[in-house]
Amino acid sequence: MGKTTSPIRIALTAGDPFGIGPEVALEASRELPGAEVTLYGDPDRLEGAARLVPVPVEGEPPDAPKPSEAGGRASLEALRRAVEDILAGRQDILATAPISKRSWAPAGASWTGHTTYLAQACGVQEPLMSFVWDEAEPVVALLTTHVPLRAVASNLTSARVERAVRRLHTALVERFRRPRARIGVLGLNPHAGEEGLVGTEEVDFIVPAIQRLRAAGLEVTGPLPGDSAFAHRRRFDGLLALYHDQGLGPVKALAFDRAVNTTLALPFVRTSPAHGTAFDLAGTGRADPTSMRAALEWAVRLAR
């Protein structure tokens, strides 16, 4: 008798009920080989999305779809239940459709997005938001995420760079099965600081971290100029960008409809599409489920 493999149990949250999340989640989860998908969200809204007919939920503003407290409460509750089921062993991995930070705030949320919520729920310090889209491309991780650009430098420490590279290295070897784990670290300033002539953050924080990592046996290169790092990206298995747009700008230019967000350092696999709620497309039938489908396929791949 041949060996059977149990399907991966995916908890899929529908995201903000007034965005395109319910639509793309339903469409992307159809006939997913090797997976058993459970949708978490408002049942009426999911049913309406299946018919592409907008339906109300309690507290919906009359001119929805738009960010709203009702949408924030609904997406938070769906996420809470999904994470609870994963931590209790009733589900294996998490996939999330987009939420709106502007909906979470009036609903009383203190988190800046899925990543910070999941970090707190799992007791993880400094999780890494990262992006992947092809086996031949590097995994792109972000040292800082949703912070103002002027605050990036004040969030930069040598110890934080070192911890982020180590977490990326662990994920590359254990989760992405890239044993060499060649990592490039981007610089903060133009031309990676020109050895202190155009800013000193590279000399003060990045170079010392890289020296310690190399001494520990890791294959790390940098600081790399941000304007050319992605032109040479295939020399690396992973790239560490220092701020949100430094990493996500090139990723979305290269693979907007295929890029998948995955949170590193959690005790389970979590993936999400790289796009947002697209309130203007909700209920129109024009929402593209490609990125959501890619998120589910990567979830199964990483879990296996």
Q: What is the pLDDT of residue 62?
A: 46
Average pLDDT rounded to a whole number, residues 197-223? 97
Confidence of residue 59 (pLDDT cuts 50, 70, 90): low
User: Could you read off the pLDDT of 137-157 as tens digits, one per residue?
Assistant: 999 999 999 899 999 999 999
Residue 189: pLDDT above 50? yes
Torsion angle in degrees (nearest 10) through CA of 256, 258, 261, 267: 180
What is the CATH number assigned to the segment(s) 1-124+266-304? 3.40.718.10
Fold of 127-257: Isopropylmalate Dehydrogenase (3.40.718)
Look over the chain and give the mean of its residue pLDDT values, rounded to a whole number.
92
How are strands ordered across the β-sheet holding 260-264?
A: 35-40, 8-13, 93-96, 270-273, 260-264, 128-132, 139-142, 238-241, 183-186, 220-224
Pairwise CA distance, residues 278 & 256, whole Å: 14
Pairwise CA distance, residues 96 & 266, whole Å: 14
Q: Both ends of the chain: CA-CA distance in Å? A: 22
Confidence of residue 56 (pLDDT cuts 50, 70, 90): low
**What is the SS3 assignment for 103?**
helix
Q: What is the pLDDT of residue 57?
A: 62
Please give the share of the chain, as a percent, with pLDDT higher than 90.
Answer: 82
Pairwise CA distance, residues 41 & 44, whole Å: 9
Count of Cβ atoms closer than 10 Å to residue 158 Cβ: 17
User: Domain ranges in the chain?
Assistant: 1-124+266-304, 127-257
Q: What is the pLDDT of residue 2?
A: 47
> At CA 210, angle to CA 250 and CA 147, rounded to 5?
45
Average pLDDT rounded to a whole number, residues 161-166? 98
Please give the share of the chain, as a percent, with pLDDT higher than 70.
Answer: 94
User: Could you read off the pLDDT of 75-113 as tens digits, one per residue?
Assistant: 999 999 999 999 999 999 999 999 999 999 999 999 989
Confidence of residue 54 (pLDDT cuts 50, 70, 90): low
Pairwise CA distance, residues 45 & 260, whole Å: 25
Residue 223 preceded by cis peptide, ω within 30: yes
Shared fold status for 1-124+266-304 and 127-257: yes
Average pLDDT rounded to a whole number, residues 256-272? 95
User: Could you read off the pLDDT of 28-51 as tens digits, one per residue?
Assistant: 998 898 899 999 998 877 777 777
